[in-house]
Structure formats: C-alpha cells, structure tokens
Amino acid sequence: MSVLAVAEQRDGVFRKVTYEALSEGKRLADGMGSDLVALVLGSNIENAAGELGKYGAERILVAEHEALAEYLTDQYTKVAAEAIAAENPEVVILGASTQGKDLSARLSARLGAPLAMECVAVRVENGNVVATRPMYGGKVIAEVALNGKPQMVAIRPNAMSIVETQGAGNVEKLAVDPGESVLQFVEKKLETGKVELTEADIVVSGGRGMGGSDYAVVEKLAELLGGAVGASRSAVDEGWRPHSDQVGQTGKVVSPNLYIACGISGAIQHLAGMSSSKVIVAINKDAEAPIFSKADYGIVGDLFEIVPVLTEEIAKVKG
Amino acid sequence: MEILVLLKQVPDTESIIMIGDDGRSIKTADLKWVINPYDEFAVEEALRIREAQGGKVTIVSVGTDKAVEAIRTALAMGADEGVLINDPAIAGIDGLATARILAAAVKQIPYDLIIAGMRAVDDDNFQVGSAVAELLEIPSVSMVIKEELDDGKIRCHRTIEGGIEVVEASLPALFTTQRGLNEPRYASLPGIMKAKKKPLETKTLVDIGLDASVAEQTTVNIVAMQPPPERKGGRIIEGETAQEKAAELARLLHEEAKVL
Ligand SMILES: Cc1cc2nc3c(=O)[nH]c(=O)nc-3n(C[C@H](O)[C@H](O)[C@H](O)COP(=O)(O)OP(=O)(O)OC[C@H]3O[C@@H](n4cnc5c(N)ncnc54)[C@H](O)[C@@H]3O)c2cc1C
Ligand SMILES: Nc1ncnc2c1ncn2[C@@H]1O[C@H](COP(=O)(O)O)[C@@H](O)[C@H]1O
C-alpha cells in the first residue's frame, strides 16, 4: 500500500506545490498506515530528488531521461503512467499547476482513474478518498468521493501547508522509456523575477479604479510585501494588464494570506476568485462598493493617495 | 479543415448559486444558462480558422434538452452543425464518463482539429478536453492563448506559471482554450435566423455505440455541497488623513491579523 506523490520540477528546481503535495501525501499515508513514495520526472534530477525525503518520502522514484527535460504531455503521461502502474499505489497526489492539470487529466483517462482537481482538503474514509474542492468558481465547496484505484487528487497550489518530516528518502532509478513524442517543444518564455499569482502569499490587485496602465503604486506595495500583482477583468480588458494577471471566476483563483484590492468594485466573478484569501483588504473611493462587504479591513478613499502612504507605513511596521 | 468544438452549457457567471435540498446538487430553477465562456473562445477560434482556411465547424455537446439553446447560439455565431448527446442515463456523471461519451461521439465525425475549453466554469474539472484527446489517442495542448496552423501542424502558445510555452503538434490534435485567445463575436440577427435552419442532431448513447454502462462507470461522486464560509464585512478604518488611515491599517495587519 502506498501514496504516490508526483513531484514537479522546472529546470531542476521543485515547485512549491510539490512540497505541499508531499506533505499532504505523507499525512494521508500515515492515516492509511502506508508509505509515501515520490515520483520525479525530468532530466538531470537525481541529485535534486534526494531532497524529497525531507517531506516524508520513504522512497523516491526517479524517472530520468534527456527527453524529459521539458514537459511534453505525451511523454510525461507515458512515463508517469508506467511508473504508477508498476507501483500500484492507492492514491496519487500532485499539484494542480498548469502542468499538473494537464498531466493528471490525461493520466486519469489513461489509467481509468478517478480524479479530483484543485482540491483544498483531502481525507480518507474507509479506504476511499474524499476530496474537498471548489466548484462554480468558488461559489460552492463540494465534497467528492472517489472510487477506484489509484484515486487521483490534484491539490490547489497554496491551499495546503508544507510540513517537514524526515522519511528514509531512498532514491531508486527507474528504467524509463519515454517513446517518441508527437509533440515538439519549441520554446519557453518566462518573465524572470515575477511572483506567480497562484503561489503568492500576498496579492495586491488593481481594478478599473487604476484608471490606466500605470500600476506603479500597486507594484511598489507588492514588491515591498514580496507579493504578486493581480487585476480585475476590467483592467485586463482595458489592456492595462496581461490576461495572466486576471483574478476571478474566469481568471486565476488565489488564496493568499493577504489580498489587497485597490479600485475594484467586487463583482461576483471577481469575488469568486479571491474570497478564499485569509485576510482581505479593500481600498475604494466608493463607500458603497460591494467589495467592502467581503473585506476584513477597508479604507474608503482615493487609492492614489492611500496606497503610497500605506506602503510607507507597512515598511515601518515591517522594520 | 474539419473542426469540432466541445461545448458545454453552464450557469451564467453572474449567477448566485444555491444548494439544493439534497445537499449535493444546486438549485437550477432560476438560473440563466450560457455557453461556457471558455467554449465561446473555442467557437470563435474555430470560426476564425474556418474563415481563413475553409472547412466546417461542428459543435458537440453532452447535455439535456436545454443545451439546445447553447448549441443554437454557437450556430448563430457561425458554426455549421450541432450534435447533442442527450440521454436520461447521463445525469450526474463525472468528467471521465463525459469524456468517454464525447470521444465516442467524435469518432463518428471526421475531424482534423478539436477545440475544447480548458475548464467548464460549473464543475471546474479542467479535465474533459485532455481526457477526450487521450481516449482518441491524439495529441493535446492545454491552456492555449495563441495558435498558428501551418502545413498539417498546429503551433500552440500555452500559459504556464510565470510565462508561456510554445509547443507544436501534428494534426489531428486537440487544444483547450485559455482567456486571451480571442474576443468571441456576438451572434448577429441574420446569424440567429440562419441558425434555426442549420442541422442539429440529437443522439442517444446507443446511437454513438454506447449504453448506460458508460454512466455507471462514474467514479467521482459529489457527496456534499456547501456554500463557502460566509465572509462578513469587517472594519472600515476611520481617520482624518490618508496617513492616519494607512498607519492604522498597517498596525492592524501586523498586530491583529498577523499577516505582515
Ligand atoms: C463571463 C464573465 C466572466 C467574468 N470573469 C471575471 C473575472 O474572472 N474576474 C473579474 O475581475 N471580473 C470578471 N468579470 C467582470 C465582472 O463582472 C466585473 O465587470 C469586473 O470585475 C469589474 O472590474 P472592476 O472592479 O475593476 O471595475 P468596476 O466595477 O468598474 O469598479 C471600479 C471600482 O474602482 C473604484 N475607483 C475608481 N477610481 C478609484 C480611485 N482613484 N481610488 C479608489 N477607488 C477607485 C470605483 O469606486 C469602483 O468601485 C466577468 C464578467 C463576465 C460577463
Ligand atoms: N457535457 C459536455 N459537453 C461538451 N463538452 C464538454 C462537456 N463537459 C466538458 N466539456 C468540454 O471540456 C472542457 C473542460 O471541461 P471540464 O473538464 O468539465 O472543466 C469544456 O470547456 C468543454 O469544452
């Protein structure tokens, strides 16, 4: 019996959600009286893989091949499916990142395995996984029971805590056959230094109240807080921010510790994407804006006056 | 180019969702239903490809009688034909069962390219598109914001954390849409008139070579639904000046909320 956590790395560096998946996987494995096994796919990753023992992995299966340097759906699916079939775990857990979503959807179809996407809590009842996951863009929280083997859960980034527990961490290299890919990787363009919205502990968002594409006040506050900048759909539609910054039912769902909404009215589609944040702050010049009814703290005022002084005051308390 | 669009009808994103008396489904009586926004991108992209290259756009949906409206809307936007798989056995099925039904339906239709949404905004499964491709054993690329077709190949720009990735697949292939791909057109009045005469075929599971057992293969079952924890409006921070308000907020975030 085992719980298998699929690790995700990019260019040899594990993503934060990997540690979340392992920690949660370890908790499930303990509850089931079984072991946590990690599976790592990539090229040149054997050295980095050993680190996963820190999060409770008893064994670390390393699927190393130069063809796996970049994520390609078909080769990753093939290699992961074969490793999972050989290991025969009860539960497969992985992060619901863009890669994890793509991989888990295809894996579930290949393995005929039940899949719960974007889970925010997971428990095992009588050997079956019951996963808690938002639906309708966060307007409903559902519990879904999975039936079958393996049962697959993709966890929402930032929703589960990272817990360090030392496992044996024995590295086992797998014999890997990625086959020929029908896909061709062309290139990857990354914005360096940008904090990913879905992984950020703090998000500062600007809406139509920003009045234009100059987000300097919001960016400065986000930078001081080590957070990410988000936007409402209106700001994105105006062309002030890229689509990848959109928070909401048809954008990204975020659940940071702190969400600061600047010049955002609080439309139902926006709220769907951020209302699971731990603490919400709203800054809006309209005292009647619906966002205030969801915010823990609100300031009524012009964001261009408030945000710069707030940045100074926060710098002071942070020391 | 034969293009298929997998299209689902969902409650409008404006909807307030209420949980039904059974505690594990939603109240549907007062909802307004629309094309899943991501599938609207799919329809638009399909139309643009057809306009550039010629061919046909067929809408494929699994749903109830009501879903006819959504298909008609897509036909009014300009799609050529619609297929609805409607069968009483289908109620309550999971994403994988839906994918199996769609894959079986798609096998009866010639295609070069299939476009799906990256997610349906009701169940938020992020699953069905890629799963259909897997069942059809064709390549898939998810979360695409730009595509270029050239010489039997499709080059897709897909969003990843912190950037984009460019991947190429040979046809036939499936890709799923991400916001940013395009701005869907509205159905024009002549479009709406024309749509009424366009072919829309309804099929049962038996018609696509399946039976009720495909629905019984559902292995993900909703056991409970709850509204998200109610957020109450908190404190409006008073103060004479921006400075005073900001200082008080900083203090509260640090000392009370402990998030700084
Ligand atoms: C299918 C569909 C999907 C959608 N998905 C999303 C989604 O994912 N995410 C999303 O955000 N929206 C989404 N929307 C749009 C949503 O309905 C709202 O239109 C949008 O969220 C409004 O953005 P906003 O709050 O920035 O703008 P507005 O509603 O125009 O609000 C601007 C606010 O800024 C305030 N303001 C103006 N100037 C200042 C100033 N100087 N200082 C302080 N405050 C100021 C105003 O008082 C106002 O409250 C969707 C809509 C549809 C139809
Ligand atoms: N019932 C359905 N009928 C047709 N297409 C569907 C159906 N369910 C899902 N899809 C397609 O799969 C995509 C992803 O849906 P989901 O996996 O449910 O989030 C949708 O955007 C549609 O393109």
The number of the ligand 2 atom at minimal distance from the alpha carbon of B60 is 4
Task: Find residue B79's DSSP bridge partners.
Answer: none
Task: Give the C-alpha separation, A244 to A228, whole Å.
Answer: 11
What phi-psi label fits residue B47: left (phi over 0), alpha (psi between -120 and 50 degrees) or beta?
A: alpha
Assess whether pLDDT exceeds 90 at residue B233.
no
Mutational pocket test of ligand 1: of B12, B13, B41, B178, the residue with most ligand atoms within 8 Å of the beta carbon: B13
User: Do B100 and B205 meet the contact criterion of CB atoms below 8 Å apart?
Assistant: no
Kind and range of the H or E element at B149?
Answer: strand B140-150
Alpha helix (H) ranges present in chain A?
Answer: 16-32, 46-49, 73-87, 98-111, 216-225, 233-237, 268-274, 303-318
Tokens of A194: 């940008």
pLDDT tens string B15-48: 999 999 999 999 999 999 999 999 999 999 999 9
Q: Which residues belong to CATH 3.40.50.620 in chain A?
A: 2-173
pLDDT tens string A213-270: 999 999 999 999 999 999 999 999 999 999 999 999 999 989 899 999 999 999 999 9
The pLDDT of residue A1: 83
The whole-model pTM stands at 0.97
Q: What's the complex ipTM?
A: 0.96
Pocket of ligand 2 (CB under 6 A): B 6-8, 36, 38-39, 61-63, 95, 98, 102, 116-117, 119-120, 123-129
Determine, for residues A182 and B95 on separate chains, whether the beta-carbon distance falls below 8 Å.
no
Is omega for the bond preceding A134 within 30 degrees of 0, making it cis?
no
Tokens of B196: 């009424």
Chain A residues with CB inside 8 Å of B235's CB? 296-298
Atom 50 of ligand 1: nearest residue by CA position? A269
Task: Give the C-alpha separation, A186 to A170, whole Å.
Answer: 35
Determine, for residues A281 and B253 on separate chains, whether the beta-carbon distance falls below 8 Å.
yes
Enter the DSSP assignment of A58.
Answer: S
Smallest CA–CA separation between B42 and chain A, in Å? 14
The domain locations on chain B are: 2-216, 228-260
Task: Give the C-alpha separation, A231 to B230, whole Å.
Answer: 23
Task: Give the C-alpha separation, B31 to B27, whole Å.
Answer: 8
Ligand nearest to the CA of B106: 2
pLDDT tens string A256-310: 999 999 999 999 999 999 998 999 999 999 999 999 999 999 999 999 999 999 9
Task: Give the C-alpha separation, A171 to A150, whole Å.
Answer: 22
* Closest Cβ–Cβ partner in A115, A137, A258 for B127: A115
The pLDDT of residue B231: 87
Task: Give the C-alpha separation, A112 to B137, whole Å.
Answer: 14
Architecture of domain A2-173: 3-Layer(aba) Sandwich (3.40)
The tokens 């979360």 sit on which residue? B143
Smallest CA–CA separation between B121 and chain A, in Å? 6
Residue B16's φ and ψ, nearest 5 degrees, are -90, 125
What CATH superfamily classification does A197-318 receive?
A: TPP-binding domain (3.40.50.1220)
Architecture of domain B2-216: 3-Layer(aba) Sandwich (3.40)
* Closest Cβ–Cβ partner in A105, A187, A314 for B166: A187
Mutational pocket test of ligand 1: of A237, A241, A249, A268, the residue with most ligand atoms within 8 Å of the beta carbon: A249
